Amino acid sequence: MQTRTGTFLLVVVFVGGLAVIPRIFGGGLVSLGQSPLVGKPAPAFSLPVVANGAPGKSTIALADFKGSPVVLDFWATWCGPCKAEAPIVNAIANRFHDQGLAVVGINTSDRAGVGGPWATAHHLTYPIAFDEGSEAAGEYNVTGMPTLVVISRTGEIIAVREGVTDADELESLVRKAL
């Protein structure tokens, strides 16, 4: 009986792990289908800045970027895939900054006080905000991390990607937003 139970648990863990792999490595669409947010206006937010903010501003809001394409990167310091994706997001932020792209890192589901120092230590150049209580993450239906949300100049969500998104795919999404 224990062998059957052990085998059953092993199969459950294996199949469950297969379901997670695309979310971690595939940069696939949320929930293996299109996010219900695509095509809708991006939810407003205003969050405290913990790194790379504008001088004299202690908060960052989506409204600050009206008329600009925006990439939101929902991440946490404890998330290995988030750490792997951070340099990709940073490179895209730097490459497209002069074309008007705004990138905002939203540190969520994390302890207060850890996101800013981590971003600074890893030389991230885009603003990092802290989502205490994960309210913004909830508004954007973030269920796994990292999650990238690409917003057009008109404020419409054009893509949501959960899991590590590679540089080529992120660049393609940004070009569509520009």
Query: Measured between alpha carbons, how far is 43 from 166 in angstroms, rounded to an integer?
Result: 25
Query: Measured between alpha carbons, how far is 178 from 48 in angstroms, rounded to an integer?
Result: 26
Q: How many CB atoms lie within 10 A of CB 164?
A: 22
Q: What is the pLDDT of residues 113-126, one digit of tens each?
A: 999 999 999 999 99
Domains of the chain: 2-177 (3.40.30.10)
Q: Which pLDDT score is estimated for 33?
A: 55
Mean predicted confidence (pLDDT) in 97-118: 97
**Hey, is 159 helix, strand or coil?**
strand
Q: What pTM was estimated for this model as a whole?
A: 0.81
Query: Measured between alpha carbons, how far is 127 from 39 in angstroms, rounded to an integer?
Result: 25
Q: Which pLDDT score is estimated for 34?
A: 74
